[in-house]
Structure 1
Amino acid sequence: MGTRVKVLNVFKALHRTRMAVFKDDDTALTAARLKINEEFRKNKNETSEENIAKMIKMGSAVETVLREAVIQAEHTGENTLLLRPRESLLLENFPYCDEPRKKT
Protein backbone atom coordinates (compact mmCIF):
# COMPACT_ATOMS: atom_id res chain seq x y z
CA MET A 1 0.00 0.00 0.00
CA GLY A 2 1.34 3.44 -0.91
CA THR A 3 2.42 5.94 1.70
CA ARG A 4 -0.24 8.43 0.64
CA VAL A 5 -2.98 5.82 1.11
CA LYS A 6 -1.64 4.92 4.57
CA VAL A 7 -1.61 8.58 5.62
CA LEU A 8 -5.18 9.07 4.37
CA ASN A 9 -6.32 5.91 6.18
CA VAL A 10 -4.87 7.17 9.48
CA PHE A 11 -6.45 10.59 8.88
CA LYS A 12 -9.87 9.05 8.25
CA ALA A 13 -9.55 6.65 11.20
CA LEU A 14 -8.73 9.53 13.54
CA HIS A 15 -11.77 11.48 12.37
CA ARG A 16 -14.07 8.45 12.65
CA THR A 17 -12.80 7.76 16.16
CA ARG A 18 -13.21 11.43 17.07
CA MET A 19 -16.85 11.28 15.98
CA ALA A 20 -17.52 8.21 18.12
CA VAL A 21 -15.55 9.25 21.21
CA PHE A 22 -16.85 12.81 21.46
CA LYS A 23 -20.41 12.14 20.27
CA ASP A 24 -22.85 14.92 21.32
CA ASP A 25 -20.02 17.17 22.57
CA ASP A 26 -19.69 19.91 19.98
CA THR A 27 -16.82 21.67 21.75
CA ALA A 28 -14.67 18.54 21.95
CA LEU A 29 -15.60 17.50 18.39
CA THR A 30 -14.49 20.86 17.03
CA ALA A 31 -11.29 20.97 19.09
CA ALA A 32 -10.32 17.44 18.03
CA ARG A 33 -11.08 18.17 14.37
CA LEU A 34 -8.98 21.32 14.44
CA LYS A 35 -6.06 19.55 16.15
CA ILE A 36 -6.09 16.58 13.75
CA ASN A 37 -6.26 18.84 10.70
CA GLU A 38 -3.56 21.15 12.10
CA GLU A 39 -1.12 18.29 12.71
CA PHE A 40 -1.64 16.78 9.26
CA ARG A 41 -1.40 20.19 7.58
CA LYS A 42 1.78 21.01 9.51
CA ASN A 43 3.49 17.88 8.18
CA LYS A 44 2.04 17.76 4.65
CA ASN A 45 5.36 18.65 3.00
CA GLU A 46 7.35 15.90 4.76
CA THR A 47 9.29 13.83 2.21
CA SER A 48 11.36 11.49 4.39
CA GLU A 49 9.84 8.00 4.25
CA GLU A 50 11.28 7.24 7.69
CA ASN A 51 9.65 10.30 9.30
CA ILE A 52 6.36 9.63 7.53
CA ALA A 53 6.37 6.04 8.81
CA LYS A 54 6.97 7.32 12.37
CA MET A 55 4.12 9.81 12.05
CA ILE A 56 1.77 7.12 10.68
CA LYS A 57 2.67 4.91 13.64
CA MET A 58 2.08 7.82 16.05
CA GLY A 59 -1.30 8.62 14.46
CA SER A 60 -2.37 5.00 14.75
CA ALA A 61 -1.31 4.94 18.41
CA VAL A 62 -3.26 8.13 19.13
CA GLU A 63 -6.34 6.63 17.45
CA THR A 64 -6.02 3.51 19.60
CA VAL A 65 -5.69 5.54 22.81
CA LEU A 66 -8.73 7.63 21.91
CA ARG A 67 -10.77 4.54 21.09
CA GLU A 68 -9.75 2.46 24.10
CA ALA A 69 -9.02 4.89 26.94
CA VAL A 70 -11.08 8.06 26.55
CA ILE A 71 -14.51 8.24 28.17
CA GLN A 72 -16.99 11.11 28.17
CA ALA A 73 -17.90 12.70 31.49
CA GLU A 74 -20.27 15.57 32.18
CA HIS A 75 -20.48 17.70 35.32
CA THR A 76 -23.95 17.25 36.81
CA GLY A 77 -23.32 18.79 40.19
CA GLU A 78 -20.58 20.36 42.22
CA ASN A 79 -18.89 17.06 43.05
CA THR A 80 -20.58 14.66 40.63
CA LEU A 81 -19.90 13.49 37.11
CA LEU A 82 -22.11 11.61 34.67
CA LEU A 83 -20.03 9.04 32.78
CA ARG A 84 -21.05 8.04 29.27
CA PRO A 85 -19.10 4.91 28.38
CA ARG A 86 -19.27 3.65 24.81
CA GLU A 87 -20.40 0.11 24.16
CA SER A 88 -16.86 -0.89 23.15
CA LEU A 89 -15.53 0.11 26.60
CA LEU A 90 -17.98 -2.07 28.52
CA LEU A 91 -15.99 -5.24 29.07
CA GLU A 92 -16.64 -8.30 31.19
CA ASN A 93 -15.36 -7.73 34.68
CA PHE A 94 -13.56 -10.75 36.09
CA PRO A 95 -12.72 -10.59 39.80
CA TYR A 96 -9.08 -10.93 40.79
CA CYS A 97 -8.18 -14.11 42.66
CA ASP A 98 -5.15 -14.26 44.96
CA GLU A 99 -5.00 -18.04 44.91
CA PRO A 100 -4.14 -19.84 41.69
CA ARG A 101 -6.67 -22.30 40.29
CA LYS A 102 -6.19 -25.92 41.19
CA LYS A 103 -5.34 -28.14 38.29
CA THR A 104 -7.70 -31.05 37.85
Structure 2
Amino acid sequence: MGARVKVLNVFKTLHRARMAVFKDDERALTAARSKINEEFQKNKQESSKENIDKMIKMGSDVEKVLRRGVLQMEHVGNNKLLIRPRKDLLLENVPYCDQPRKTS
Protein backbone atom coordinates (compact mmCIF):
# COMPACT_ATOMS: atom_id res chain seq x y z
CA MET A 1 0.00 0.00 0.00
CA GLY A 2 1.39 3.40 -0.95
CA ALA A 3 2.19 6.10 1.57
CA ARG A 4 -0.57 8.35 0.23
CA VAL A 5 -3.20 5.67 0.84
CA LYS A 6 -1.85 4.98 4.34
CA VAL A 7 -1.94 8.68 5.21
CA LEU A 8 -5.50 8.98 3.95
CA ASN A 9 -6.53 5.89 5.96
CA VAL A 10 -5.03 7.34 9.16
CA PHE A 11 -6.75 10.67 8.47
CA LYS A 12 -10.13 8.98 8.05
CA THR A 13 -9.59 6.72 11.07
CA LEU A 14 -8.76 9.70 13.29
CA HIS A 15 -11.90 11.51 12.18
CA ARG A 16 -14.02 8.41 12.81
CA ALA A 17 -12.50 8.07 16.28
CA ARG A 18 -13.19 11.77 16.91
CA MET A 19 -16.84 11.32 15.96
CA ALA A 20 -17.25 8.31 18.25
CA VAL A 21 -15.29 9.58 21.25
CA PHE A 22 -16.72 13.11 21.33
CA LYS A 23 -20.27 12.23 20.28
CA ASP A 24 -22.74 15.04 21.18
CA ASP A 25 -19.94 17.38 22.35
CA GLU A 26 -19.83 20.03 19.62
CA ARG A 27 -16.97 21.97 21.19
CA ALA A 28 -14.74 18.89 21.46
CA LEU A 29 -15.74 17.69 17.98
CA THR A 30 -14.82 21.04 16.46
CA ALA A 31 -11.53 21.32 18.37
CA ALA A 32 -10.49 17.78 17.45
CA ARG A 33 -11.42 18.30 13.79
CA SER A 34 -9.38 21.49 13.67
CA LYS A 35 -6.35 19.87 15.30
CA ILE A 36 -6.41 16.80 13.04
CA ASN A 37 -6.78 18.92 9.92
CA GLU A 38 -4.10 21.38 11.08
CA GLU A 39 -1.54 18.62 11.72
CA PHE A 40 -2.14 16.95 8.38
CA GLN A 41 -2.06 20.29 6.55
CA LYS A 42 1.16 21.30 8.33
CA ASN A 43 2.91 18.13 7.16
CA LYS A 44 1.37 18.03 3.69
CA GLN A 45 4.66 18.75 1.93
CA GLU A 46 6.67 16.08 3.77
CA SER A 47 8.49 13.85 1.30
CA SER A 48 10.78 11.74 3.50
CA LYS A 49 9.42 8.19 3.61
CA GLU A 50 10.95 7.70 7.06
CA ASN A 51 9.21 10.81 8.46
CA ILE A 52 5.92 9.90 6.79
CA ASP A 53 6.07 6.41 8.32
CA LYS A 54 6.73 7.93 11.77
CA MET A 55 3.77 10.28 11.39
CA ILE A 56 1.51 7.43 10.23
CA LYS A 57 2.53 5.46 13.33
CA MET A 58 1.89 8.50 15.54
CA GLY A 59 -1.56 9.00 13.99
CA SER A 60 -2.43 5.36 14.63
CA ASP A 61 -1.22 5.66 18.22
CA VAL A 62 -3.31 8.81 18.76
CA GLU A 63 -6.38 7.01 17.45
CA LYS A 64 -5.82 4.18 19.95
CA VAL A 65 -5.39 6.66 22.82
CA LEU A 66 -8.59 8.46 21.83
CA ARG A 67 -10.63 5.27 21.69
CA ARG A 68 -9.17 3.67 24.83
CA GLY A 69 -8.18 6.60 27.01
CA VAL A 70 -10.88 9.25 26.65
CA LEU A 71 -14.08 8.94 28.60
CA GLN A 72 -17.03 11.32 28.34
CA MET A 73 -18.69 12.06 31.66
CA GLU A 74 -22.14 13.38 32.54
CA HIS A 75 -23.65 14.89 35.65
CA VAL A 76 -26.12 12.69 37.50
CA GLY A 77 -29.37 14.54 38.03
CA ASN A 78 -29.01 18.01 39.51
CA ASN A 79 -25.99 17.03 41.63
CA LYS A 80 -22.97 18.85 40.19
CA LEU A 81 -20.61 16.71 42.29
CA LEU A 82 -21.90 13.36 41.09
CA ILE A 83 -20.67 12.34 37.67
CA ARG A 84 -20.56 9.08 35.76
CA PRO A 85 -19.39 7.91 32.36
CA ARG A 86 -21.96 8.26 29.61
CA LYS A 87 -23.39 4.75 29.52
CA ASP A 88 -24.32 5.00 25.83
CA LEU A 89 -20.63 5.46 24.98
CA LEU A 90 -19.16 2.80 27.30
CA LEU A 91 -17.67 -0.37 25.95
CA GLU A 92 -19.15 -3.50 27.48
CA ASN A 93 -17.51 -4.86 30.64
CA VAL A 94 -15.67 -1.63 31.44
CA PRO A 95 -16.00 -0.94 35.16
CA TYR A 96 -16.84 2.54 36.35
CA CYS A 97 -17.70 4.22 39.61
CA ASP A 98 -20.82 6.24 40.46
CA GLN A 99 -19.16 7.90 43.43
CA PRO A 100 -19.11 11.67 44.04
CA ARG A 101 -15.93 13.54 43.22
CA LYS A 102 -13.91 14.59 46.22
CA THR A 103 -13.49 18.33 46.40
CA SER A 104 -10.59 19.99 48.11
TM range (shorter): 0.7 to 0.9
Aligned: 1:78 with 2:80:
yes
Q: Distance in 1 between matches of 2:59 and 2:32?
A: 13
Q: Distance in 2 between matches of 1:68 and 1:90?
A: 13
- Give runs of aligned pairs for residues 1-104 of structure 1, distance below 5 A: 1-75=1-75, 77-85=79-87, 86-87=89-90, 89-91=91-93
Q: Distance in 2 between matches of 1:61 and 1:91?
A: 23
For structure 2, the 5+ residue unaligned runs are 96-104
TM-score (norm 2): 0.80
Q: Which stretch of structure 1 is more off in the superposition, 5-14 or 69-78? A: 69-78
Of all paired residues, the percent bearing the same amino acid is: 65
Q: Deviations over 1:19-63 (max 9, x none)?
A: 011111100000000000000011001010000000000000000
The structure whose Rg is larger is 1
Could you list the structure 1 runs, at least 4 aligned residues long, displaced by more than 6 angstroms after superposition. none
> How much does 1:92 deviate?
6.5
Equivalent residue pairs, number:
92
> Which residue matches 2:100?
none
Q: Distance in 2 between matches of 1:13 and 1:40?
A: 13
1:62 aligned partner, one-letter code: V
1:63 aligned partner, one-letter code: E
1:16 aligned partner, one-letter code: R
RMSD: 1.7
**CA separation of 1:92 and 1:71: change in aligned 2, threshold 3 A:** closer
TM-score (norm 1): 0.80
